[in-house]
Structure 1
Amino acid sequence: MSKKKIYYYCVKLYSDVTKKEISYKKIKVIFNKIFDSYSKQNKNIRSLSLNQSEISITMDILENNENYLFGRIGKVKDNSSMQIREYGTLSSDEVLSRKDTMKKGVELCSYFIYNYEDGILGYVKSQSVPDAYIFNNITKYSKKYYTEINPIPNPSAYKKLFKDGSILSRITFTVPVPDTQVLRDKEMLGLDREQIRILEQTNTKYITLIVKNENRRFLTNVKEDIINIIKSFLRKEKEYKDIKITGSGNDFNSRDFDLKEQVFYYNIDVKDYDTENHQKIALDIERKGKIYKEVLKESYENNKDDLLILTNRYN
């Protein structure tokens, strides 16, 4: 399983003539006209170029129905330092021939889901892949409209843990190390001399501490204690580099609440491979797309009420 983060954004629609915001409910019709006119059909998938300058970026439309637009964003990657190897013979070959590079490319990709009814975009952030703002490039094909992507602020998500029935299971926080003498506290850190010597040479700046109980046991389920613990960390927020609280409640499963993160995101686990005869088999791109679709839809439904409140988009 790979751990990923889905970040959520509010999508606004504007008139290119008046520059005034208009109803995002029109986005579905606008997008469909663009897809019909400018996308290219490849088997069961439509693809639309979202190129930026000379960088090749493509959106694959994997599903487009009354409720959702689900797809994949791919960005070309330089493959000059990559090769293909046959492990049985250890022979190697180039990823693409010189001739193929004139018309093909290797891409890194990520997935997104857009809810037409609510005007909310969920985007899986991945390294070296364009951020969610590339979504604005869809309307570059329109002469009448343009979209604006805004991160959904969520500075108080942790308050879900203030409700009855909540459980606090783990606290993870990172503190600066003003002096390497801190590393010599054997009772606290349990480091031996050699470990301390090496760490002192690396010019250690931070230490991450994890507070948790024995396996499968939570820290506390007492509402007042949970509130006091979280508030105590918030009072000293500037003293920490990172603060994450892990907990669950009656209406949500265990999740992390990042007290330093100011935008709405949701952690997901995505399957990377199948197992056959005790061997890991990489998923093909079609199977991976189906898995992401299921996970992104489930994530959206789990967070829908919170997202609608934060964006003031209750119908």
Structure 2
Amino acid sequence: MAEKKVYFFKVNLRTKDGEDIDYKDLKDIFIDIIDKNAIEQDNFKSIDLTIDDEYTHIIWDIFDYENSRLFGRFSKQKPSNTMIKRYYKTMEKENIGDGDERTAGIEQYTYGNLDYDTGIFSIVGALGAPNEKAIAKALWKYNRDYQIELVPIPNAQAIQDIYEGEGAEITRVEIEVPLPEAGVLQQIFNWDDDQVINVMGDRNLSAGVVLKPLARKGRITRDTEETKGLLDCISRNKAGYNKARIKAKTINKKLREYDLFDQYFSYPIDIAPYHMQGSKRIYFTVDELVDIYRQNIVYSFETNRRLLKLIVSR
């Protein structure tokens, strides 16, 4: 499994003069842009988001757009001379592309989903792929009567809702700190001096602590006051941590993980790049990954829909 994060953005819609209008008009605007400008493929539509002065292409492949959501794959062209293809039995290599980057190229991609009802855009963070601003390029290039603003949904607000939520409970705490002093390691692991020195040396190490109940459905804190006290304690000592995560819930919010170091609201997903066939790894094709990403992104949004709507007041 490869863990990735889905980030969420509130989408505001405005006229070209900057006047705020109903975000629910986004559905009709995008349908019109796609119907007029996209090129039909076998099971999706492709639209070029490349702006005139950009050398490398940005492409949007759209799989859903006419019903409740706008789901697609955003791709950014990469120079073909940064990769080669190799045949491992002979060790022969083959160049990728014909050298003319204007007509064909290789791309890195990610996936994004706009929920029409809430105006919340979800995107999987992916190094080298387009970010959330790619969706705004569609209006800039194809309909300048409108513009959209993507506002990242803050993680602090989500944590505050747990802090103040009715019946708040924490079920897991994970803390990572710089490697403790030798004396602490000796006490915990019963290491002798030489072992401690050898392990610590010049290595860049850290230590992690996971606090969780023994029972599967147990809890660390039992009510809002205890939850506030534990969160206050973690916050006071946060400067000494490398990482701090909790799993928590309230009466109105399902159990989920909160990263206390993350500035923006996110939700972790596990993407399996392959499946096992006997003892062999069979990697999913790009087409097969579409449904895997779609299911995970939609699930991550639906799981957090109520909380996200509360934060953005929609």
**What range is the shorter-chain TM-score in?**
0.7 to 0.9
Q: Structure 2: how far apart are the matches of 1:302 and 1:3?
A: 17
Letter in 1 for 2:137: N
Q: Structure 1: how far apart are the matches of 2:71 and 2:204?
A: 45
Contact kept? 2:182, 2:197, Cα under 8 Å: no
SS in 2 for 1:109: strand
Q: Structure 1: how far apart are the matches of 2:100 and 2:6?
A: 34
Contact kept? 1:184, 1:196, Cα under 8 Å: no
Spell out, residue by residue over 1:170-212, the C-alpha distance to the aligned partner (whole angstroms, 9 max, x if none). 32223356xx8457641136666356346442466x6544444
TM-score by structure 2 length? 0.85
Contact kept? 2:61, 2:73, Cα under 8 Å: yes
Please say if 1:14 is aligned against 2:7: no
Contact kept? 1:266, 1:299, Cα under 8 Å: yes
SS in 2 for 1:80: helix
- Single out whichever of 77-86 and 275-284 deviates more from structure 2: 77-86
Describe how 1:242-281 pairs up with structure 2 within 5 A.
Answer: 242-247=243-248, 254-281=255-282
- Single out whichever of 272-281 and 182-191 deviates more from structure 2: 182-191
Letter in 2 for 1:291: I
TM-score by structure 1 length? 0.84
Contact kept? 1:268, 1:295, Cα under 8 Å: yes
Letter in 1 for 2:96: L
Consecutive unaligned residues of structure 2, counting only runs of 5 or more, are: none
Residue in 2 that maps onto 1:116: 116
Residue in 2 that maps onto 1:93: 93
Contact kept? 1:77, 1:105, Cα under 8 Å: yes
Q: Structure 1: how far apart are the matches of 2:117 and 2:150?
A: 16
Q: Structure 2: how far apart are the matches of 1:3 and 1:151?
A: 21
Contact kept? 2:15, 2:146, Cα under 8 Å: yes
Spell out, residue by residue over 1:46-103, the C-alpha distance to the aligned partner (whole angstroms, 9 max, x if none). 111222522321111011122100001111223424232334x243332524357552
- Single out whichever of 7-16 and 183-192 deviates more from structure 2: 183-192
Residue in 1 that maps onto 2:238: 237
Residue in 1 that maps onto 2:150: 149
Aligned length: 307
Shift of 1:268: 1.3
SS in 1 for 2:156: coil
Q: Structure 1: how far apart are the matches of 2:204 and 2:273?
A: 36
Residue in 1 that maps onto 2:3: 3
Structure 1 pair 214–127 and aligned structure 2 pair: CA distance change class (3 A):
farther
Describe how 1:99-138 pairs up with structure 2 within 5 A.
Answer: 103-138=103-138
Structure 1 pair 219–116 and aligned structure 2 pair: CA distance change class (3 A):
closer
Contact kept? 1:167, 1:218, Cα under 8 Å: no
Q: Structure 2: how far apart are the matches of 1:78 and 1:14?
A: 35
